[in-house]
Structure 1
Amino acid sequence: MPAPSFARFRSTLLLSAVILVVLSGCAALDDQQTDLPAAGEVEETLTDLEAVNATVVSTLDGTRISTQQTVFEVGTQRRRSTTQTGERGSLVVANDSVTWRYDRAANTVRVTHRIDGEQQSNTSISSSMGSIFGRVNTASDGTEREAALDPLILPAAGGGDPQPFAGQIESFANASLNYHGTGTVAGREAYVVEAVPEADVNTANITLWIDQEWYYPLQWNSTIVVDEERRTVTTVYRNVTFNPAVSAGMFTFDPPANATIVERRVVSQTFETRAELVARSEMTIPDPDVPEPLTFDSARYFDDNGTVRTSLQYTNGSATLRVTKSEPRGDSAALPGDDRVEINGHEAAIQSFDSGISLVWSCEGHRYTVFGDVSVETVRAVGESIDCG
Structure 2
Amino acid sequence: MNRRRILAAGVAVTLAGCVTVPGSDTDGEPPSGEELVRNAIDTRRHMHDLAARRNMSVETADEAVERVERVARQPPAKQRIEVVESTDPDVPAGSVTVTNRGTTWEYNPKTELVDKQYHPNKVDTDRTRLVLENLLEEYRLSYEGTATVDGRKAHVVETKPPVEDVGPAIDLVVGDTTFVVPLRATADSDAMDVTRTVWIDDEYRYPIKEQNTLTVDGETRHDLTVTYEDLVIDEGLPAGTFTYDPPADATVETDGRKPAGVFDSLPAAEEILPYELPEPEVPDSYVLDRITVVERAENVGGTTATLWYNDPNVIARELYVTVREYQRFDPDVLEEIEIDGRTGYRSSGKRAQLFWTCDDVSYEVGCLLQDAPLEEIAASIGCQ
Q: What's the TM-score once normalised by structure 1's chain length?
A: 0.48
Q: What's the TM-score once normalised by structure 2's chain length?
A: 0.49
